[in-house]
Amino acid sequence: MKSSDQKPNQGDSRRDFLKKSSVITAIALTPSVAVKAAESNADERFAQLFEKIPLELTVNNKVYQTTVEPRVTLLDYLREELHLTGTKKGCDHGQCGACTVHVDGQRVNSCLSLAVMNEGKKITTIEGLANGETLHPMQAAFIKHDGFQCGYCTPGQIMSAVACVREGHTGSRAEISEYMSGNICRCGAYPNIVDAIIEVKEGGEKV
Amino acid sequence: MINFQYLRTTTAKSAIALLVKDKNAKFLAGGTNLIDLMKRGVTAPEKLIDINHVPLKQIEQIGNKIHIGALASNSAVADSALIKEKLPLLSWALQAGASAQLRNVATVGGNMMQRTRCSYFYDTEMPCNKRQPGTGCGAMEGFNRMHAIFGASEKCIAVHPSDMCVALTALDAEVVVANAKGERKIPFKDFHRLAGDTPQLDNNLKADEMIIRLEIPMNNLAKNYHYLKVRDRASYAFALVSVAAAFELSNNKITDIRLAMGGVAHKPWRLTASENFLKGKEATLSNFEEAAQLAMKDAKGFGGNDFKLKLAPNTIIEGLNLAKSKV
Amino acid sequence: MEKRVLKDDNDRVDGILKVTGQAKYFAEYELPGLTYGVLVTSTITKGKITALDTKAAEKAPGVIAVISHLNKPSAAAYEQEGGPQMKIFYTDKIFYNGQPIAIVVANTFERATHAASLVKATYAKEDFNTDFEKALKDPKAKKLQGQADYKRGIENAYKTAVVKLEERYFLPIETHNPMELHGIIADWRPNNQLTVYAKTQGVKATQGTIANVFKIPMENIQVNSEFVGGGFGMALRTWPLEIATVMASKHIGKPVKVVITRMQMFTMVGNRPAAIQTIGLGANKDGKLTGITHRAYGETSTYENFTEGVVNMAKFMYQCDNVNTAYAIVPVDLGVPIWMRGPGEATGAFALESAIDEMAHALDMDPLDFRIKNDPETDQQKNKPFSSKNIKEAYKIGAEKIGWSNRKNKPGSLIEGPWQTGYGVSVGVFNANRGKASVKGILKADGSLHLQSATSDIGPGTGTGMTLIANKLMKIPVNKITFELGDSSLPPAPSQGGSATLSTVGSAVNDVCVALKSAIAELAANSNMDATANFVDVLKKNNLPQIEVTKESQGGKERDNYSMYSFSIHFVQVKVHALTGVVKVSKIVSVGDSGTIVSPKTARSQMLGGAVGGIGMALTEESIIDHRYGRYINNNFADYHVPVNADVPEIDVNFINKPDPYINPMGAKGMGEIALIGFSAAVANAVFNATGKRIRTLPITPDKILA
Ligand SMILES: Cc1cc2nc3c(=O)[nH]c(=O)nc-3n(C[C@H](O)[C@H](O)[C@H](O)COP(=O)(O)OP(=O)(O)OC[C@H]3O[C@@H](n4cnc5c(N)ncnc54)[C@H](O)[C@@H]3O)c2cc1C
Ligand code: SF4
Ligand code: FES
Ligand code: FES
């Protein structure tokens, strides 16, 4: 809860927002939508339209075109809107790595990225890693080496591990550990995770 | 978090124009600090200007300087062949910070602008002069294990948390910033401020300015260097104390030397007195020890961070040792 | 499909679901009309709410309701006098900072979160104390007995011993912090029908608690909790926030989902309480213990008492005729603690196993020899033989693998540049439990076996262990066996805690398999088939698609005759950087003595997890409170340091793997707790061996090394 000098919430300043949205440069609501919504007096619908902006992104090779509030993080968008719940929320503040996904091939923490920042980007989540029914080599190696227990950090670990191999940060156990330290595993599967990564690296398969 | 307005732009010029239009607007780069702070209610901009598409990602050599765009990612800089060859200290410092995931999106400009990790600053129910001037400093008589031992003010004893900035201070970087009228240059060591009477201000960037790029002069410090970061766990933790050390040796005599510390002050802390002492001297343990003592002249602890009075000089010595033994 | 099968019988049965993101945790169920709840918490530490302004929140876009003590729906049990003091939304009292005081429900998470920030409470504040040490010193502060005093032989015999020591050990608050955030989805339907998706270590316990609070029949409540993203003890009870969510759903008639924040994980779901312990040890010149005294104080809350087995180990772990223990709890204005992995025994073992090392040093003995010398043949506390105990063998294996012979008894002897090397050892021990559980087995003519029990899997691999037990008995391939859990409608089983699941539920699986086998044998005999006939043929011959058996299983008299414990030995090598005070655990050898190892892969992982948790306990973990405000100041994963990958070396896990003849049909004893218990002392002992610095206050951070 915040102290008393709280900003008026967005709900109170919708009219204001309407004014401001005319200065939007790169992204703007189509004016016709704006006018229509302003005329209809349905308060709730009004809020929905005006607080959301259009978004197009590709997740696991599927294109999604939706509208979204700017404050929605990529993580919550994946989990709550697209119901791709393989990506996990462990802290919501960039401090654990459970939310790791690939954006244009790079591993990032989806909890500190707004969904709208990813307009036009290609996102891969744990659900998109396997090739149809064939597990990705890293997934298979995690099973083989028991690189998890409760499984909650696992999607993030695997996405991070794949990136780690692609980046070439697998020169030694120590290097792997360092580059995997952005993914916390409270169950303590770390040595097994390193074993899995070494196996994949030495297997030489394309990841 | 309020539902702010989100704008995206592709030029620095329009970014600055959008910024000045609205007092409560902020640039959004990687978002790894800003979104975190917004989630905690520490800041509540009504307008975010996404600058990630502004073409300022260059990492290049121009004349005898290396230019790094404000939007180059921390990992792009750390992994750049040019930086690894010419400014390896910077690459090491970057790799010691945050995590691989965060470094992939965190930008150079954002890293410089990141705010302190002081717990009282983050908790909106606690007093903090930096977050809300006049409410007092929660850390002063509270939990200040992570806090400053140099240049602290009565108002704020926070430290700047960046690793990258420690190396940049050592490397005599310059920051190129711009407003609607044009560009200006700020020496890196003058970019961040001491807290003084205005702890709410972390640096000297003006409200209408944007960081455009860094310019770093070439040097001969790519042989004997080290970035040593002491922290509570082996990785993914902020520094208790860190040291950027680099020197040039000829006949075992130090001809050029750079020393800076992180985790000890409201800004990256350049150790000028120690540098002056070591210049022209031999790279020996006893000289290192003396230089470390010189660095501690005005140090002061606040209870919880008293251990830094011992840790800091030790880290300087070890940083120099490791720089020396690097071949 | 064929590529997605497990390659090895010992692989986790749910491995494919977990590595592909298909495993569904509580927050991941899609329900029509789902709403989002966000909790508003108190910003004072003690007092009363005098006013709660919810107007702004109620008006915010998307908000459906704000529920608090002012407008809560009925929770029948809370309307009665007595019962728990902390009746959420039935009291205006504040017991600690961060206590939930209202819940805001909206149609999206973002809207609920924002609206929650608009709720404003006004309080009447009272003086408070969150400082355990201060309470301990204050003669006026309450101290309650936590466990009956224990005495064998002469009290405080150590005081008159030839060689004696008395030392004080401090353990700070630790927070479980499983990776999955806590919460619940509650879906209250007309006629008091309730479905919840919970994060719980016991679906039956959750069902029972909710039934009690709302006074509705157990049968009306369906609890689902198939996958749990770690618990370490914090999901052993149903927390007020869960009751609040159920109330919210009851109030609005829609499903409500609450996922608390990482910050709230420090205040709403318990922690390992801080403890202050004094150990007195006495020995004669030959290194025989002549007196052990263990006194402990543990932290608890003002509204509920919490106790754990801090002083248990001292009573039987070493041969000694004179032992006395005392344990008291001290209330402070914080949320109530809850068992955290290894619970009180891990707290106690840090002190006792450090003290044992200190005594060995005082005697100038190798700590391993000292332990062996004082190893008991029987349990002196219970006056019974141990059901099985192979500690000496475990010492031997571990010592060899860690290279104990490289250790120097004189601290600070191994120096390489700025790094000092040291070796440490310690013992862990935990009661080998076995409770009562039921399992249903369905044996099908298609050759498969389906097992069901309302147990849980918070990570140890319950389904995998059960499958392997059945596989061994029934000779049915692992991929033809399924084990269903995490559903309150299945045959009852206790909560997953106290390292008892494998022993308890496994025994029921055993009994079901035995019963199924004899049923098949009977059918075979009745249909003139060979007694060794395959069950598929027998079922087919009898025209039966399947047969079903449900068995309840529990231990018998064996516990009257034997003392049953699981043991572990932890060997560690550390490197300490003399200039910066950095401690690196560079080598770990763990030896588990917990009977038969039913599931080798997951058992090894349990030991790894214990070691990693032990590194955290020893070196990095501490929940810090600013006692001026009563608020946690490092309540997040950036400031509360759990070990990361780079903190953990390779870990050499070994098992004695000899069946315990008495505990259960498998001969298997639990191991979840012993994996952690004692580990922190091994690290502290190794740090002493490396540096000569004895650190009795955890965690061992660089500042303490430099001090
Ligand atoms: C868990 C965690 C651990 C971390 N550990 C470390 C660590 O060990 N060491 C370390 O150094 N850092 C660490 N960081 C901090 C991280 O480096 C910063 O968050 C990051 O560098 C910020 O960059 P960004 O691009 O994401 O900035 P943003 O969050 O996008 O922006 C930060 C601020 O800078 C402003 N800004 C951004 N670009 C410009 C520009 N060009 N001109 C003017 N203003 C601008 C924004 O308006 C905003 O106010 C950690 C962060 C997290 C979350
Ligand atoms: S040290 Fe600075 S940031 Fe921290 S509480 Fe004091 S004023 Fe705020
Ligand atoms: S949820 Fe994103 S880093 Fe933890
Ligand atoms: S497997 Fe449980 S947190 Fe990693």
pLDDT 10s digits, C156-215: 999 999 999 999 999 999 999 999 999 999 999 999 999 999 999 999 999 999 999 999
Whether residue C701 and residue B236 make contact (CB cut-off 8 A), yes or no, is no
- Structural contact between residues C120 and C75, judged by C-beta atoms closer than 8 angstroms: no
Q: Note whether residue C100 is domain-resident.
A: yes
The answer on pLDDT for A8 being more than 70 is no
pLDDT for the residue C554:
95
Residues C287, C246 share a domain: no
Whether residue A109 and residue B101 make contact (CB cut-off 8 A), yes or no, is yes
Query: How far from chain centre, in Å, is Cα C123?
Result: 36
pLDDT for the residue B326:
85
* Residue B302 alpha carbon to ligand 2 centre in Å: 13
Residues C235, C299 share a domain: no
The minimal CB distance from C114 to the residues B1, B311, B315 is found for B1
The answer on pLDDT for C223 being more than 70 is yes
CATH number, position C49: 3.90.1170.50
Residues C299, C194 share a domain: no
Tens digits of residue pLDDT in A43-57: 444 445 557 999 999
- Cα–Cα distance measured from residue B245 to residue B259, given in angstroms and rounded to the nearest whole number: 5
Q: In A, which residues are within 8 Å of C23 by CB distance?
A: 151
Q: Note whether residue B311 is domain-resident.
A: yes
Does A54 touch chain B if contact means CB atoms closer than 8 Å? Answer: no
Whether residue B36 and residue A163 make contact (CB cut-off 8 A), yes or no, is no
Q: Note whether residue B98 is domain-resident.
A: no
State which residues form the domain around B287: 224-324
Does B126 touch chain C if contact means CB atoms closer than 8 Å? Answer: yes
* Residue B119 alpha carbon to ligand 2 centre in Å: 8
CATH number, position C480: 3.30.365.10
Residue C404 three-state SS: helix
Tens digits of residue pLDDT in C360-416: 999 999 999 999 999 999 999 999 999 999 999 999 999 999 999 999 999 999 999
Q: What's the mean pLDDT in B62-76? A: 98
Q: Look at the block and give the residue holding tokens 């908000």.
A: C63
Q: Note whether residue C137 is domain-resident.
A: no
Give the H or E element holding residue C114: helix C109-116
Q: Note whether residue C347 is domain-resident.
A: yes
pLDDT for the residue B327:
61
DSSP string of C213-277, one letter each residue: HHT--GGGEEEE-SB----TTTTSS--HHHHHHHHHHHHHTS-EEEE--TTGGGTSS--BPPEEE
Residue B199 beta carbon below 6 angstroms from any ligand 2 atom = yes
Residue A188 beta carbon below 6 angstroms from any ligand 4 atom = no
Show the tokens assigned to A125.
Answer: 């989540």
Q: Note whether residue C168 is domain-resident.
A: no
The minimal CB distance from B5 to the residues A70, A97, A179 is found for A70
Domain boundary among C514, C530, C554: C554
Residue B129 beta carbon below 6 angstroms from any ligand 2 atom = yes
Q: In C, which residues are within 8 Å of A182 by CB distance?
A: 644
Q: What's the mean pLDDT in C110-133? A: 98
Domain boundary among B34, B52, B70: B52
- Cα–Cα distance measured from residue A168 to residue B134, given in angstroms and rounded to the nearest whole number: 50
Q: Note whether residue B315 is domain-resident.
A: yes
- Cα–Cα distance measured from residue C460 to residue C230, given in angstroms and rounded to the nearest whole number: 9
Tens digits of residue pLDDT in A152-170: 999 999 999 999 999 999 9
Q: Note whether residue C28 is domain-resident.
A: no
Q: Note whether residue B305 is domain-resident.
A: yes
**Ligand having the closest approach to the CA of A74:** 3
- Cα–Cα distance measured from residue B320 to residue B224, given in angstroms and rounded to the nearest whole number: 9
Atom of ligand 3 minimally distant from the CA of A182: 3
- Cα–Cα distance measured from residue B238 to residue C111, given in angstroms and rounded to the nearest whole number: 32
Show the tokens assigned to C122.
Answer: 């006004």
Tens digits of residue pLDDT in C62-104: 999 999 999 999 999 999 988 888 999 999 999 999 999 999 9
The minimal CB distance from C644 to the residues B120, B141, B236 is found for B236
Residue closest via CA to ligand 1's atom 50 equals B98
Tens digits of residue pLDDT in A57-115: 999 999 999 999 999 999 999 999 999 999 999 999 999 999 999 999 999 999 999 99
Structural domain total, chain C: 3
Q: What's the mean pLDDT in B277-284? A: 98
Atom of ligand 1 minimally distant from the CA of B238: 8
Distance from CA of B99 to the nearest CA of A (A): 5
CA dist C478 → C447, C463, C501 (Å):
11, 11, 20
Q: Note whether residue B231 is domain-resident.
A: yes
For a ligand 1 pocket test, name from B9, B77, B92, B111 the mutation site with the most ligand atoms within 8 angstroms of its C-beta.
Answer: B111
Structural domain total, chain B: 2
The answer on pLDDT for C231 being more than 50 is yes
- Structural contact between residues B118 and B147, judged by C-beta atoms closer than 8 angstroms: yes
Residues C316, C427 share a domain: yes
- Cα–Cα distance measured from residue B226 to residue B91, given in angstroms and rounded to the nearest whole number: 10
Residue closest via CA to ligand 1's atom 37 equals B110
Domain boundary among B17, B37, B52: B52
The answer on pLDDT for B201 being more than 90 is yes
Distance from CA of A14 to the nearest CA of C (A): 11
Q: Under 8 Å CB-to-CB from A73, ≥6 apart: which residues?
A: A92, A110, A111, A112, A113, A114, A115, B35
Residues C405, C487 share a domain: no
Domain boundary among C246, C266, C286: C266
Residues C415, C463 share a domain: no
Radius of gyration, alpha carbons of chain A: 21
Q: In A, which residues are within 8 Å of B22 by CB distance?
A: 20
Question: Which structural domains are found in chain A, ordered by start?
Answer: 4-128 (3.10.20.30), 137-201 (1.10.150.120)
- Structural contact between residues C10 and C601, judged by C-beta atoms closer than 8 angstroms: yes
The answer on pLDDT for C115 being more than 70 is yes
Q: Note whether residue B266 is domain-resident.
A: yes
* Residue B232 alpha carbon to ligand 2 centre in Å: 21
The answer on pLDDT for A28 being more than 50 is no
Show the tokens assigned to B85.
Answer: 């060859």
**Ligand having the closest approach to the CA of C232:** 4
Alpha helices in chain A (DSSP H): 14-21, 31-39, 43-51, 74-76, 137-144, 154-167, 173-179, 190-203
Confidence of residue A29 (pLDDT cuts 50, 70, 90): very low
The answer on pLDDT for C1 being more than 60 is no
pLDDT for the residue A12:
36
**Ligand having the closest approach to the CA of B107:** 1
- Cα–Cα distance measured from residue C475 to residue C490, given in angstroms and rounded to the nearest whole number: 24
Share of chain A above pLDDT 70, in %: 76
Residues C463, C427 share a domain: no
Residues C654, C522 share a domain: no
Residues C294, C239 share a domain: no
Taking CA atoms, what residue in B is nearest to A72? B3
Does A28 touch chain B if contact means CB atoms closer than 8 Å? Answer: no
Domain boundary among C554, C574, C608: C554
State which residues form the domain around C657: 275-433+560-706
Does B102 touch chain C if contact means CB atoms closer than 8 Å? Answer: no
Q: Note whether residue B251 is domain-resident.
A: yes
Which amino acids of C are annotated catalytic?
A: 673
pLDDT for the residue A26:
38
pLDDT for the residue A50:
57
Does C1 touch chain A if contact means CB atoms closer than 8 Å? Answer: yes
Q: B265: phi > 0 → left, psi -120 to 50 → alpha, else beta; which?
A: beta
Tens digits of residue pLDDT in C28-65: 999 999 999 999 999 999 999 999 999 999 999 999 99
Residues C260, C283 share a domain: no
Residue B227 beta carbon below 6 angstroms from any ligand 1 atom = no
The minimal CB distance from C20 to the residues A6, A87, A130 is found for A130
pTM: predicted TM-score of the whole model, two decimal places: 0.96
Q: Note whether residue C164 is domain-resident.
A: no
Distance from CA of B217 to the nearest CA of C (A): 32
Share of chain C above pLDDT 70, in %: 99
Q: In B, which residues are within 8 Å of C643 by CB distance?
A: 233
Q: In C, which residues are within 8 Å of B319 by CB distance?
A: none
CATH number, position B10: 3.30.43.10
pLDDT for the residue A51:
79
Among C19, C586, C620, C676, the strongest candidate for a mutation testing the A interface, having the largest count of A CBs within 10 A, is C19
Q: Note whether residue B183 is domain-resident.
A: no
Query: How far from chain centre, in Å, is Cα C42?
Result: 28
Residues C362, C282 share a domain: yes
CATH number, position B311: 3.30.390.50
Residues C529, C584 share a domain: no
Share of chain A above pLDDT 90, in %: 73
- Cα–Cα distance measured from residue C683 to residue C676, given in angstroms and rounded to the nearest whole number: 12
Q: What is the mean pLDDT of chain A?
A: 83
The minimal CB distance from B31 to the residues A53, A117, A183 is found for A117
* Residue A20 alpha carbon to ligand 1 centre in Å: 27
